[in-house]
Amino acid sequence: MKALIIKNKVLKDNFGHNSFRPLQEEGVDAILNGKDLLMILPTGGGKSLVFQLPTLMKDGVSVVISPLIALMQDQVSALKAQQIPADMINSSQTKDEIDEVVYKLRMGELKFLYLSPERLNTQWSYDLLKSLKINFFVIDEAHCISQWGHEFREDYRALGNLKHNFPHANICAFTATSTNHVKDDILRELKLENPLVLKGKIFRKNIYISTQRRITNGYAQLKNFLSRHVQESGIIYVSSRKKAEDLSAYLNQNGYKSLPYHAGLPQHTREQNFKIFVNDKVNIMVATIAFGMGIDKSDIRFVVHMSLPKTIENYYQEIGRSGRDGENSEVLLLFNAGDMVLQKQFLKAITDKEYAQHLESKINGIYKFATSEVCYHQQLAHYFDDEMDECGERCDNCLHKDDERKDITKEAQMLLSTIYKTGQNFGKNYIIDILRGSKEQKLLTNKADKLSVYGIGTYLSKKEWFIVLERLMETRVLEVGDFSSLKLTNDAIKILKSQKTIDIKSSRLEINTKEKRVKSVDSFEYDSELFEKLRVKRSELASELGVPAYIIFSDKTLKHLANDKPYDKATMLEVNGIGEKKFEQFGEEFLEIINP
């Protein structure tokens, strides 16, 4: 009973929460009882609290293995802002800075030490850790240990040595993305002993998912999307460093505040851009998918992918960076079939045929996800071996489920006939140009203007023909061959012979994007004018302390303050997200704003 009282007191005083989220308490208890743990919990489900709370109740230091320096910096800053002693050792630090951290460790002044797997797997690190009182190890982003996952890291495999070198310390692994195959890999590679395995539900109801076929570079669609997220924080993922630079420049020229973030930038520039973003000096970060972006910023309201991610795991993890505070967020995926073709080109360099086939199936999987008319949330749940009903109104496919459909069998026959009559040797642009009667020299040289199909499709725009073509590809009526040439399948022959029909959502052929009907969830009324005043105060305090604004109070907490309007310490402590520690640091200043 005493331990329970202490646990709940730490939960409220240090983290500001009145109760645990699903599975959190079971994870906390496992760690307190010295058990190994594997927790698979979606981003925003509260994984960090599961290992942070036990550390505050135990003697010694907890060692957290994290794959990204940016993520370490963010989490260490958050802990320090909560007056919890934490530090890290990584390649971005000077020898003097590392020596200072080592001194604090030896003096017992730290509760958390963050290390990368590469730094951990050195004799120097093992010697240091063996001289300390370690209560338990935390393996963050544990899916990186599996070569069948989406972010395999060779140095993660060496973490299996922890059990041998530190037999008395329990190991707690955490990930947001794990199929059953990857889960088994994690348990085996880490050599966990009789672990408790906790797996949360994949569905995050505060995220609205939509996809659109990208039109040209997608900039017009992006601007339409951003019009619903004025002055809100967001991440836009692109597929190359150049695209990150170009899109960031375009956004800045069009009145947005953005910065690029990719591996080609000098380290100090990346770190500076990261700090500017998390401190709300710019609203938008344009980041490369290949480099990734570890970030614990809780008030990200949107995530956009400008092209197809490599895998469903990548996609789920990246959209998970939005809405970590539980507030409504929106994610958009822009794509076309060319994204899939480009990604498959890179597979030719892989000599391990089994592994290449594995990666190809993942590419096919994310394309099928994007083009399917099945509930997006349900598709994600099924992929990660979870079950759920359709979300109802939290994705485009469900919200527009009853949209009118249009029969495009005639258009399909035109397009398929053109591919057949040109020997299945050309790509989509060439085929559509024939249908639209283009005067391109290449067509005229090849005497394409003499074909019976030349110019029969002028009643559809080029963009509309692209959408018809996309529909034929997503239904496997067409395949892409060498050099991006279009190939007919058996279903294509059936359509040509009028033995099979094909239709499409009418809305997909409406090129002029209409205002979306995005539904909100768990919304409540609050004093918006007071909310803005509280945001200003939060920003001022964050600048003084040199920490991201959301570390002081999340947007959700500020909205509750603007609604509840507490008038003293007791009523302010009733607000979820505010504990004794936070009130001591900031309570009086916010009360003065609420009660002038």
How confident is the model over 485-506, as pLDDT tens digits? 899 999 999 999 999 999 887 8
Summarised one tens digit per residue, pLDDT across range 168-182 is 999 999 998 788 888
Nearby residues of 100 by Cβ (< 8 Å), 6 or more positions away: none
Work out the mean pLDDT of the chain and round it to a whole number.
Answer: 87
C-beta separation of 225 from 332 below 8 A: yes
Q: Rounded to the nearest 5°, which phi and psi values hold at 248?
A: -60, -45
Predicted pLDDT of residue 552: 87
Q: How deeply is 8 buried, as exposed, middle or buried, from its count of CB atoms within 10 A (0-12, 13-18, 19+)?
A: middle
Predicted pLDDT of residue 515: 40
- The span from the CA of 120 to the CA of 156, in Å, is 10
pLDDT tier at 324 (50, 70, 90 boundaries)? confident
HSE-CB for 197 with a 13 A CA cutoff? 10
pLDDT-wise least confident of 328-342, 354-368, 454-468: 354-368
Summarised one tens digit per residue, pLDDT across range 186-204 is 999 999 999 999 999 999 9
Q: b/e map of 201-240 (b: 16 or more CB within 10 Å)?
A: bbbbbbbbbbbbbbbeebbebbebbbeebeebbbbbbbbe
- The span from the CA of 157 to the CA of 524, in Å, is 46
Tokens standing for 270?
A: 């990346």
Strand partners, 340: none
pTM here is 0.69
Domain 528-594 has CATH 3.20.20.70: no
Predicted pLDDT of residue 150: 53
Nearest 5°: the CA angle 144, 94, 102 is 75
**DSSP alpha helix (H) spans, 306-408:** 312-319, 337-346, 353-371, 376-383, 396-399
Residue 471 pLDDT exceeds 90: no
pLDDT tier at 81 (50, 70, 90 boundaries)? confident
Nearest 5°: the CA angle 532, 74, 15 is 65
* Higher pLDDT among residues 67 and 247, named by residue: 247
Q: Rounded to the nearest 5°, which phi and psi values hold at 226?
A: -65, -20
Predicted pLDDT of residue 511: 47
Q: Do domains 2-199 and 207-399 have the same CATH topology?
A: yes
Predicted pLDDT of residue 564: 85
The domain limits of the chain are 2-199, 207-399, 409-501, 528-594
- The span from the CA of 281 to the CA of 463, in Å, is 38
Summarised one tens digit per residue, pLDDT across range 197-234 is 999 999 999 999 999 989 889 999 999 999 999 989 99
Residue 334 pLDDT exceeds 90: yes
Q: CATH assignment of 409-501, given 3.40.50.150, 1.25.60.10, 3.40.50.10140, 1.10.10.10?
A: 1.10.10.10
- The closest of 13, 155, 7 to 573, measured between CA atoms, is 13
Architecture of the 207-399 domain: 3-Layer(aba) Sandwich (3.40)
C-beta separation of 116 from 69 below 8 A: yes
* Higher pLDDT among residues 56 and 373, named by residue: 56
Tokens standing for 23?
A: 């599975």
C-beta separation of 71 from 296 below 8 A: yes
Domain 2-199 has CATH 3.20.20.70: no
